[in-house]
């Protein structure tokens, strides 16, 4: 780990390497090759918590108003309103969008494995979820589907049909780095500060909590396994938690 640190390897990489070593020693113990796991006695590697900067409601409204292009409008809505992880959004297929029931079924993601894109099931049952979609977002998805059908006809044999909602100009899966650049461009066009794409997920949870939605409902909406994760990680920027504290203190002191 010291050598990794000296070579500038990230704390995350060091943590992963430590985990692999620990697993190897645990396996060796089971095979009676070693007596103990020295990694278990070594110093753990802590990660600095990344600062989270969700968008405000006003910023979300501005972003949606300024985002042009039917595909990007739908993509941004899936991020800031429905908290879809990047892999979930890029792996979303039209067969999982029900325009009649106004729902989107999230159960898989797309990943690039050894240079090839593959559909992979989500890590847990809690991650799989069916979300009801508001009318404006549904309209954005419909407009995007119409435009995509036009593009597909224009491309002819050059179009690769994977039934994906979000695609390149030839129907291929969008690379995550390209998707990230599109996100930053949308923010810039709206005159908003650059933020991580994952901050959009935090934005959705925070806004829902601000609107009074129950934390358990938000947990299911986000696809989390525990309310603790939802509360601790995704709604700590909410103004709702502290709202009214000053008035309560004022009345408390006056009544003393």
CA 217 from centre of chain? 17
Q: What is the three-state SS of 175-204?
A: CHHHHHHHHHHHHHHCCCCCCCCHHHHHHH
Q: What is the pTM of this model?
A: 0.76
Q: Using CA atoms, how far apart are residues 198 and 54, in angstroms rounded to an integer?
A: 9
> Domain extents for the chain?
2-41, 57-234
H-helix segments, 131-244 = 135-155, 176-189, 198-210, 215-222, 227-229
Count CB neighbours of 164 within 10 A: 21
Give the CA distances from residue 212 to residues 45, 190, 207, 239, in Å, rounded to whole numbers and listed in that order: 37, 27, 9, 11
Q: Are 48 and 14 in contact (CB under 8 A)?
A: no
Q: What is the pLDDT along the chain (256 residues), one digit of tens a residue?
A: 566 655 556 665 677 777 777 878 787 787 778 888 888 777 776 655 567 789 999 999 999 999 999 999 999 999 999 999 999 999 999 999 999 999 999 999 999 888 889 999 998 889 999 999 999 999 999 999 999 999 999 999 999 999 999 999 999 999 999 999 999 999 999 999 999 999 999 999 999 988 888 999 999 999 998 888 888 777 655 666 555 666 767 777 776 5
- In this structure, the dihedral spanned by the alpha carbons of residues 76, 78, 80 and 84, taken in order and rounded to 10 degrees, is -130
Question: What is the CATH topology of the domain spanning 57-234?
Answer: hpI Integrase; Chain A (1.10.443)
């Amino acid at each position: 780990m010291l050598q990794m640190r000296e070579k500038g390897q990230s704390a995350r990489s060091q943590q992963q390497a430590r985990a692999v070593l620990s697993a190897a020693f645990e396996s060796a113990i089971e095979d009676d090759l070693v007596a103990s796991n020295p990694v278990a006695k070594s110093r753990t590697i802590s990660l600095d918590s990344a600062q989270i900067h969700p968008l405000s409601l006003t910023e979300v409204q501005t972003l949606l108003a300024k985002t042009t292009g039917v595909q990007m409008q739908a993509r941004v809505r899936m991020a800031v309103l429905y908290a879809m992880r990047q892999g979930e959004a890029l792996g979303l297929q039209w067969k999982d969008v029900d325009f009649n029931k106004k729902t989107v079924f999230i159960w898989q993601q797309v990943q690039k494995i050894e240079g090839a894109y593959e559909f992979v099931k989500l890590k847990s049952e809690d991650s799989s979820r069916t979300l009801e979609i508001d009318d404006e977002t549904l309209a954005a998805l419909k407009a995007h589907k119409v435009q995509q059908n036009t593009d597909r006809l224009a491309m002819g044999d050059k179009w690769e049909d994977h039934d994906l909602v979000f695609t390149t100009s030839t129907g291929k899966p969008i690379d995550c780095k390209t998707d990230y650049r599109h996100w930053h461009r949308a923010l810039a066009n709206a005159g908003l500060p650059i933020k991580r794409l994952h901050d959009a997920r935090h934005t959705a949870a925070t806004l829902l909590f601000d609107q009074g939605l129950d934390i358990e409902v938000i947990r299911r909406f986000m696809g989390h396994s525990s309310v603790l994760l939802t509360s601790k990680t995704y709604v700590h920027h909410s103004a709702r938690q502290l709202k009214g504290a000053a008035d309560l203190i004022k009345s408390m002191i006056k009544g003393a």
